[in-house]
Amino acid sequence: MNIGEKLFELRKAKNLSQEEVADKLNVTRQTVSKWETNQSTPDFDKIIPICELFKISTDELLRGSKEENKTEEVADEKIQESENIHKEAKRKSAEVVSTSVFIYIASIAFLMVGVAVLNLDPVVVTALFLCAIAWSTARIIKNYMSMPKLEKTGKEKKEENILKQINGIVGAICTVIYFIVSLTTMAWYITWVIFIIDGLICRIIKLLFMLNEKEEK
């Protein structure tokens, strides 16, 4: 509420006309009207007489009532709390994504080395590989399902659209590679790993976006 609106409300609360207020403050009725319509503001030497007339403090006149100030403070606190929650959620999300990406890479490396180099049982290697992939995927799903729903900024919406486009392109390329490699080698039992690599690439790209945003802040 601006000064003009405050003066209007105070005058109405006192059941005074503009002429009566003008007489008490030694100004014209037009001056009071201009104050209330925000065409002008009271001169400095009229602030104290106005406050004495309406029985308020200069702080209440210039900055608002205690209730209004308290409401504004509460609103500011809620905004700050929301921003803190948003930052903490994104920090936790970046941590979960980065560790899950590491697990994906380590799992693929173990799958490639376990049988060919370490001569481990292929069934055991595959089982451990699938368990690691399932665990890291479950961590990512749990993280995004538990994230608080907050209003996204314009920049975040733009980044999300860019990520969708990049993921779509990467997915299409990996699908083409999958069919080419599978039809060429006929190794259908193992070429499905390409789709895991696709997901891994998408996670890395998202992580890079998060790190870039953190660096900007």
The whole-number pLDDT of residue 105 equals: 84
The whole-number pLDDT of residue 79 equals: 64
Closest CA relative to residue 196, chosen from 92, 100, 94: 100
| Residue 11 pLDDT > 80 | yes
| Residue 73 pLDDT > 70 | no
- Output 9 or 147, whichever has higher pLDDT: 9
Find out whether 86 and 72 touch, Cβ atoms under 8 Å.
Answer: no
| Residue 205 pLDDT > 60 | yes
| Residue 64 pLDDT > 70 | no
> Long-range contacts of range 173-181, CB-CB < 8 Å, 24 or more positions apart?
174/198, 174/201
| Residue 204 pLDDT > 60 | yes
Find out whether 192 and 199 touch, Cβ atoms under 8 Å.
Answer: no
Segment 75-91, tens digit of pLDDT: 667 666 766 767 777 77
Segment 106-140, tens digit of pLDDT: 888 888 888 778 888 888 888 898 898 888 888 88
What predicted TM-score, i.e. pTM, was given to this entire model? 0.39
**Tokens representing residue 158 in the block:** 């733009």
Of 2-11, 102-111, 136-145, 147-156, minimum mean pLDDT range? 147-156
- Output 214 or 83, whichever has higher pLDDT: 83
Q: What's the rounded Cα separation, in Å, for the pair 59 and 65? A: 8
90 by Cβ neighbours in 10 Å (0-12 / 13-18 / 19+) ranks as: middle
Q: How many CB atoms lie within 10 A of CB 22?
A: 18
- Residue 50's H or E segment, with its range, is helix 44-54
Cα distances from 171 to residues 35, 129, 195, 197, in angstroms, run 64, 22, 8, 10
108 by Cβ neighbours in 10 Å (0-12 / 13-18 / 19+) ranks as: middle
